[in-house]
Amino acid sequence: MPNLYIDPNYKSPLSLRETEKAIKEIKDYFEGALAWNLNLQRVSAPLFVRKGSGVNDDLNGIERKVTFQIRDDNNSDAEIVFSLAKWKRMVLADYGFNTGEGLYTDMNAIRPDEESLDNLHSLYVDQWDWERVITAQQRNLEFLKNIVRKIYKAVREAESHICKLYPQIKPVLPKEIQFVHTEELLEMYPDLNPRQREDKISEKYGAVFIIGIGGELADGTIHDGRAPDYDDWVTPTGQGKKGLNGDIFLWYPVLKRGFEISSMGIRVDRDAMLKQLEIRNALNRTEFAWHKRLLDGQLPLSIGGGIGQSRLCMFLLQKLHVGEVHSSVWPRDMLDKCAQAGIKLL
C-alpha cells in the first residue's frame, strides 16, 4: 500500500472547476511576483537534452532517466530532464545576462524512481526553475538569506491574493521565514532522522530555510543528497558549518508535517565543484562539455533553484493530495482509497 495519509475529516475547500481556476490564478500571480522580486526574465526551456552532455541534473546519481532515441540523428540518445539546474547557468552565459539579472522558466520532468508515491510525491514534477547572475563577493550566506526572504515574500503575496479570491481559505504563513543549519538541527534533535527534524523545525517556526544540504555532518551522515555540480554544499560558512544552499520548508496543517517547496542555493565555482566531484568520486564528469565550460570560466557565478508549482498550489489551496492539483499516474490502490475518501485526483 502506498504511503498515503487520509484525514477522514478532510474536505476540499474548492470544487474541481474552482480548483482549476485557482491553479491558474496562483501560477500567474506567483511567477509575476517572483520575477519582480528577483529581477527575472521568462525564457523557454527544454523538456529533454542530449544524453552525455552533462547538462541534465543527476539528483542523487542513482535515479533512472527516461530516455529515447532520435531517429533522424543516427538514433542518438536523448533523456527527459530531471531539472534544469545546470542548463539555466549555461543560458545565463549564452543569452548575455548581466550581474543582478536572471531568468525563470517552466520545468517539467518525469522521475520514474520516485521513492514513495504519496500525498506529496508524484512521477511528474513541475517547477519554476530560476537562476540569477551574482558576483564573487555575493557568494556568502547573508546574500543567500536575502534571496530566500525575497522568494518567501512572493509566496506570502500569493497566499494573500488567493485568500482574497477564496475567503473560505484562511492564511497560515508567518510573517517572517527563519533560518537553521543542518548541524544545528542535528544538535537539537539528535535522536530523530532528517525527515523528522524537518517536521519538528517546520512546526516550530511555520516557515524555515534549512541550510547546508549535501555535505557531511558532524556525525558522518548527510542530511539529504545533493548532486556535486550545481549547489555549493562544501564552502565553510563559519562556526564549523558549511554549505551555501538549502531548502525552504513550510509547516502544513493539512498533512501535519513539514512541506518542502523549494530547493536552491549559490552555485559551485570552479574550486567548489572540483572538491565536491572528488568527494563523490565523480571527477570523470570534468570531461563533459558543461563542466569544461565551468572549469574554463565560461559560465557566470550564479544563484538559483526550483520552486514546486504543484507543491505551491497544493499548499495555498489547502489540498490533501498533490494529485488534486496536477494529473499523473498513481498506483491503483491509492486511487481506490482516495475515491473512497471522496478525494478527486485530476
> Could you tell me the pLDDT band of residue 40, with boundaries at 50, 70 and 90?
very high
Q: pLDDT digit string (tens) for 245-288?
A: 999 999 999 999 999 999 999 999 999 999 999 999 999 999 99
Stronger pLDDT, 68 or 316, i.e. the higher one: 316
Q: pLDDT digit string (tens) for 139-185?
A: 999 999 999 999 999 999 999 999 999 999 999 999 999 999 999 99
- Give the pLDDT confidence score for residue 167 in this predicted structure: 97
Rounded to an integer, the average pLDDT of 303-314 is: 97
DSSP string, 78-136: EEE-S--HHHHHHHHHHTTPPTT-EEEEEEEEE-TT-S--SSS--SEEEEEEEEEE--G
CB contact at 8 A, 154 and 108 = no
> Could you tell me the pLDDT band of residue 60, with boundaries at 50, 70 and 90?
low
Rounded to an integer, the average pLDDT of 110-129 is: 85
The three cell numbers locating residue 320: 490533501
- Give the pLDDT confidence score for residue 266 in this predicted structure: 98
- In whole angstroms, give the CA distance from residue 151 to residue 5: 29
Examine residue 247 and state whether it is found in any structural domain, yes or no: yes
The three cell numbers locating residue 344: 478527486
In percent, the amount of the chain with pLDDT more than 90 equals 76
Examine residue 5 and state whether it is found in any structural domain, yes or no: no
200, exposed or middle or buried, with CB in 10 Å at 0-12, 13-18, 19+? middle
Instruction: List strands edge to edge, sheet with 48-50.
Output: 48-50, 76-80, 67-70
CB-based contacts of 49, cutoff 8 Å, min separation 6: 55, 56, 78, 79, 81, 87
Which amino acid makes up residue 44? S
The three cell numbers locating residue 327: 494529473
- Range with the poorest average pLDDT among 17-31, 42-56, 233-247, 261-275: 42-56
Q: How many domains, in total, are found in the chain?
A: 1
Rounded to an integer, the average pLDDT of 18-46 is: 96
Q: How far apart are the first and last CA of the chain?
A: 20
- Give the pLDDT confidence score for residue 38 in this predicted structure: 98
Examine residue 10 and state whether it is found in any structural domain, yes or no: no
Among all residues, which ones are annotated catalytic?
57, 111, 127, 247, 260, 263
Examine residue 3 and state whether it is found in any structural domain, yes or no: no
Examine residue 212 and state whether it is found in any structural domain, yes or no: yes
Residue-range definition of the domain harbouring residue 262: 16-340
User: 108-122 b/e with 16+ CB inside 10 Å = b?
Assistant: ebbbeeeeebbbbeb
Instruction: List strands edge to edge, sheet with 102-110.
Output: 40-42, 102-110, 124-133, 302-308, 257-266, 245-252, 207-211, 178-181
- Give the pLDDT confidence score for residue 279 in this predicted structure: 95
- Give the pLDDT confidence score for residue 313 in this predicted structure: 97
94, exposed or middle or buried, with CB in 10 Å at 0-12, 13-18, 19+? exposed
Rounded to an integer, the average pLDDT of 22-27 is: 97
- Give the pLDDT confidence score for residue 194 in this predicted structure: 96
- Give the pLDDT confidence score for residue 58 in this predicted structure: 65
> Could you tell me the pLDDT band of residue 70, with boundaries at 50, 70 and 90?
confident
In percent, the amount of the chain with pLDDT more than 70 equals 97
Examine residue 146 and state whether it is found in any structural domain, yes or no: yes
CATH number, domain with residue 167: 3.30.930.10
Q: pLDDT digit string (tens) for 182-221?
A: 999 999 999 999 999 999 999 999 999 999 999 999 999 9
Rounded to an integer, the average pLDDT of 11-31 is: 96
Examine residue 4 and state whether it is found in any structural domain, yes or no: no
Rounded to an integer, the average pLDDT of 116-123 is: 88
Confidence (pTM): 0.93
CB-based contacts of 291, cutoff 8 Å, min separation 6: 54, 229, 273, 285
- Give the pLDDT confidence score for residue 61 in this predicted structure: 59
User: Would the pLDDT of 56 be above 80?
Assistant: no
- In whole angstroms, give the CA distance from residue 216 to residue 214: 7
- Give the pLDDT confidence score for residue 1 in this predicted structure: 41
Examine residue 7 and state whether it is found in any structural domain, yes or no: no
- Range with the poorest average pLDDT among 3-17, 57-71, 205-219, 285-299: 57-71
User: Would the pLDDT of 74 be above 70?
Assistant: yes
Q: What is the dihedral of CA 32, 33, 35, 37, to 10 degrees?
A: 160
Question: For the chain, what is the mean pLDDT?
Answer: 93
CB-based contacts of 42, cutoff 8 Å, min separation 6: 31, 35, 103, 104, 105
